[in-house]
């Protein structure tokens, strides 16, 4: 049996690269955003304005992805700021994945700008793995106009780690026999699924590199970190048995979150945001014909402390008003009423394809009222689908600056009103 060969292909600074490629290849602009200090970020006046992607020249000024735009402008006053174009990015991502499928039918898209490709048994078609990766990298550049990193290994985990070794526009291998030299000296934070909080816990245990983690006592890791400790220990030792799955996994939940323009300091403000989130989440659920039986509310304070709370519903539903009522109840249990909040999120899980409710003599909601609410939501969905989401909104949002449908996709994509993307891109 042939040894598995897995590629991880990652578009370099995807949003900026795709904006730049579109401007050069389609609009015919002479200045390439990738050659000057530039970033993709939102409205300068909004608190949402964080750096989504940056060019290599911008990186030289110390600009980091995820930092506030105003800080980036302080570092580089001449910085060119481009607003995100999500419709373009979706189109570019589709072309990207379509090209990868010309090398192998077994492609698993991990995010909008990266995917795994199972290249096992393709040597007669494309040559040795490194040669095939170079061919793939070159074709993406020539046909789509942006660069990628390709990581090569015998499993998905090591292929992804290989692709992150050095950027941009590189091909790297990281087979099990190369781990000790290439992966183990790296900071433990560089390991897949090790976040800042986990890194801090590992550092307190004297674990600073991936090699330290690989050689640590797995029983101690389990005691300190639970099941996650065992998982990252296996990852540090290069163990991952996951197969490349061409079809996306079934959605296990629906959720949205939003960073507010101002700190949320009152229950009334919070309810406004929760309703806008439930409106968007419930619309997506109805579009997919799904209902949920469990709701969670996620909160982030202005001190960047995250906490959440969840509750089971009396059945499964996708009615906006019912999800909002449950979200408010969970929020009231979770928030102390004092700490300022900068981000709120709503997530629905325990999915079912059919709604069901538990009604009793004391319930405020009768089967007849439930049915009327569902029909009302469906009518609103139809109007928004045809005329755009702003054609109708709840009276609660008449004089309120908060968006009545927050989080999730860019507004243009939600309403279907998107500018056409030429076929040549």
Q: What is the pLDDT of residue 59?
A: 94
Task: Residue 8: give its domain's CATH number.
Answer: 3.30.70.270
Q: What is the pLDDT of residue 362?
A: 44
Task: Residue 393: give its domain's CATH number.
Answer: 3.30.1490.100
Nearest to 65 by CA among 12, 130, 143, 118: 12
> Do the Cβ atoms of 237 and 261 come closer than 8 Å?
no
List, in order, residues 6 or more apart from 131 with CB less than 8 Å away.
Answer: none
Q: Which of 110, 136, 152 is the last residue of a domain?
A: 152
SS3 category, 304 = coil
**What is the tens place of the pLDDT at every residue in 300-356?**
887 767 888 999 988 889 999 999 999 999 999 999 888 999 889 999 999 988 776
pLDDT band for 43, please (50, 70, 90 cuts): low
Is 60 exceeded by the pLDDT of residue 420? no
**What is the tens place of the pLDDT at every residue in 54-87?**
999 999 999 998 888 999 999 999 999 998 888 7
Residue 407 shares a structural domain with residue 265: yes
Task: Residue 203: give its domain's CATH number.
Answer: 1.10.150.20
d(C-alpha 407, C-alpha 260), whole Å: 10
Q: What is the pLDDT of residue 361?
A: 44
In sequence order, what E strands does 189-244 have?
none
Q: What is the pLDDT of residue 47?
A: 52
- Residue 168: is the preceding peptide bond cis (ω within 30°)? yes
Residue 6 shares a structural domain with residue 143: yes
Does the residue 157 lie in any domain?
Answer: no
Residue 275 shares a structural domain with residue 365: yes
Residue carrying the six token digits 């200090």:
37
As a whole number, mean pLDDT of residues 171-189 equals 97
As a whole number, mean pLDDT of residues 131-146 equals 96
Residue 263 shares a structural domain with residue 411: yes
Kindly state the tokens that stand for 235: 């990852």
The boundaries of the domain holding residue 196 are: 184-236
Residue 231 shares a structural domain with residue 269: no
Residue 24 shares a structural domain with residue 53: yes
As a whole number, mean pLDDT of residues 40-67 equals 84
Q: What is the pLDDT of residue 376?
A: 85
Nearest to 259 by CA among 54, 50, 41: 50
Does the residue 245 lie in any domain?
Answer: no
Q: What angle do CA 141, 147, 148 make, to 5 degrees?
A: 115
SS3 category, 17 = helix
Does the residue 248 lie in any domain?
Answer: no
Residue 404 shares a structural domain with residue 299: yes
d(C-alpha 321, C-alpha 327), whole Å: 10
Is 70 exceeded by the pLDDT of residue 169? yes
**What is the tens place of the pLDDT at every residue in 201-232?**
999 999 999 999 999 999 999 999 999 999 99
Does the residue 141 lie in any domain?
Answer: yes
Does the residue 161 lie in any domain?
Answer: no
Residue 216 shares a structural domain with residue 268: no
Q: What is the pLDDT of residue 394?
A: 73
Positions marked active-site: 114
Residue 64 shares a structural domain with residue 104: yes
d(C-alpha 316, C-alpha 221), whole Å: 38
For the chain, the domain total comes to: 3
Residue 270 shares a structural domain with residue 195: no
Does the residue 128 lie in any domain?
Answer: yes
Residue 333 shares a structural domain with residue 189: no
Residue 145 shares a structural domain with residue 192: no
């Amino acid at each position: 049996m042939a040894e598995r060969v897995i590629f991880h292909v990652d578009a370099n600074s995807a949003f900026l690269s795709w904006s730049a490629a579109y401007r050069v290849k389609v609009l015919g602009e002479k200045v390439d955003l990738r050659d000057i200090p530039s970033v993709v970020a939102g409205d300068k006046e909004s608190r949402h304005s964080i750096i989504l992607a940056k060019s290599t020249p911008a990186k030289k000024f110390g600009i980091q992805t995820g930092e506030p735009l105003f800080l980036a402008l302080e570092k580089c006053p001449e910085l060119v700021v481009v607003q995100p174009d999500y419709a373009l990015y979706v189109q570019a991502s589709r072309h990207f994945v379509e090209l990868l499928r010309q090398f192998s039918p077994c492609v698993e898209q991990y995010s909008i700008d990266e995917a795994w490709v199972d290249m096992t048994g393709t040597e007669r078609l494309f040559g040795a793995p490194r040669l095939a990766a170079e061919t793939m990298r070159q074709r993406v550049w020539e046909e789509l106009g942006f660069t990628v990193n390709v990581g090569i290994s015998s499993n998905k985990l090591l292929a992804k780690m290989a692709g992150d070794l050095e950027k941009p526009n590189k091909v790297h291998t990281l087979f099990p026999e190369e781990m000790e030299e290439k992966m183990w000296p790296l900071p433990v934070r560089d390991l897949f699924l090790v976040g800042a909080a986990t890194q801090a816990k590992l550092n307190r245990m004297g674990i600073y590199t991936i090699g330290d983690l690989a050689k640590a006592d797995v029983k101690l890791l389990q005691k300190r970190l639970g099941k996650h400790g065992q998982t990252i220990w296996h990852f540090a030792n290069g163990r991952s048995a996951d197969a490349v799955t061409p079809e996306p996994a079934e959605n296990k939940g629906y959720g949205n979150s939003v960073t507010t323009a101002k700190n949320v300091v009152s229950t009334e403000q919070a309810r406004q945001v929760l309703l806008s989130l439930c409106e968007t989440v419930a619309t997506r659920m109805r579009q997919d014909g799904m209902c949920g039986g469990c709701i969670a509310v996620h909160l982030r304070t202005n001190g960047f402390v995250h906490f959440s709370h969840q509750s089971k519903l009396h059945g499964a539903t996708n009615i906006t008003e019912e999800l909002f009522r449950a979200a408010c109840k969970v929020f009231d249990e979770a928030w102390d009423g004092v700490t300022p909040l900068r981000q709120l999120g709503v997530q629905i899980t325990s999915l079912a394809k059919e709604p069901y409710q538990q009604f009793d003599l004391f319930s405020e909601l009768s089967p007849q009222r439930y049915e009327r609410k569902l029909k009302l939501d469906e009518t609103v969905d139809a109007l928004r689908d045809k005329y755009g989401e702003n054609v109708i909104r709840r009276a609660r949002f008449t004089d309120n600056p908060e968006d009545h449908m927050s989080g999730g996709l860019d507004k243009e994509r939600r309403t279907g009103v998107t500018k056409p993307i030429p076929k040549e891109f």
